[in-house]
Amino acid sequence: MVKQTDSPHRVGRTGDAPVATKSPVRQITVNEGQVGQRIDNFLLNILKGVPRTYIYRILRKGEARVNKGRIKPTYRLENGDVVRVPPVRCTDPDTGKGKPGERMMATVRDSIIYEDDDLLALNKPSGIAVHGGSGVTHGAIETIRCLYPNAPYLELVHRLDRATSGCLLIAKNRVMLLRLHELLQRGAIDKHYQALVKGEWRGELCSEALTRNVQQSGERMVTVSTNGKSAQTRFTPQRCFRDTTLMDVELYTGRTHQIRVHAAHAGHPLAGDDKYGDDAFNRRMRHDGLKRLFLHADSIAFKITETGRKYRIETPLSAELEAIVAKLQPRQQK
């Protein structure tokens, strides 16, 4: 594995008091490699460590402009566009405001498992969001941008739930991002997960359509619906225990909470799932030491058509999840 040697940028300090620094106004001309990129993602790359909410604010106020005009966050850049990047005041990373804290930086740095000129792969820990938002200031992508201050382009290829651990891909250039998105759309990326589910399950192909709803409390939920988007998940048992089954899960689509909702709909909710799971089952699993959702993205494989290069990235279960499996009692033979 190629390791990144750049040190994250740190702002100055006087004694123990954090020092705020303010960047100058910049006028950046869009080049061919940046064409088609959304303005919000472009600014996130330029303004390392600045929260996504701040990016939306400067766009809403018209402080960030394209060709001297206001634009929406969804605006896609064209070749030759001139982007006005306003002054941004950044605080010390240890304050937890301007940049991720040292603990977050170290955790994400240690999770990097693969790197080449086009791609980064993380073994994302459970509990870390892939990006900021919804009360989360910094996610994996914002932290990676701080760890790689000289990288001109870093974008998420796909997403994982905050509670899910495992393989997360980040493109280091737009060409790679577009290639991988095209493979995802064709279903040409082989993605497998490990999940511990309730009960004895022989597995099946779940094809129920899914839709996202927002409850009165504001919580986002995904439900099975004939009017929803198509979704396919294949569950295959790997190891059988007395009242649980360790499943290999293959995703053919990538809907929000797809594995969790399909498993719950089939009557076999995931262990530790506090949104779609079984409360009594979760309490029993907590008693056995499970403190998180038992869902882990353990492998991803694909071939870049244009170059013929093949990738296979594997992330085995963490010691924490392996310890849970070791405690499970084997199923008695009938």
Do residues 237 and 285 make contact, with C-beta atoms less than 8 angstroms apart?
Answer: no
- CATH 3.10.290.10 range(s) for the chain read 23-90
**Residue 240 contacts by C-beta under 8 Å, 6 or more apart in sequence?**
200, 246, 330, 331
Number of helices (H) and strands (E) in the chain: give both, helices first. 8, 19
Do residues 150 and 275 make contact, with C-beta atoms less than 8 angstroms apart?
Answer: no
- pLDDT band at 203, cuts 50/70/90? very high
**Which numeric CATH code is attached to 188-327?**
3.30.2350.10
pLDDT over threshold 50, residue 96 = no
pLDDT in tens, 142-181: 899 889 988 888 999 999 999 999 999 999 998 999 999 9
Write down the pLDDT at residue 7: 34
Domain 104-186 in CATH 3.40.980.10? The answer is no
- CATH 3.30.2350.10 range(s) for the chain read 104-186, 188-327
Q: Which residues are tagged catalytic?
A: 161
Round the average pLDDT of the chain to a whole number and report it. 86
Average pLDDT over residues 23-31: 85
In this structure, the dihedral spanned by the alpha carbons of residues 128, 132, 137 and 138, taken in order and rounded to 10 degrees, is 50
Average pLDDT over residues 255-280: 96
Write down the pLDDT at residue 333: 66
Architecture of domain 23-90 in this structure: Roll (3.10)
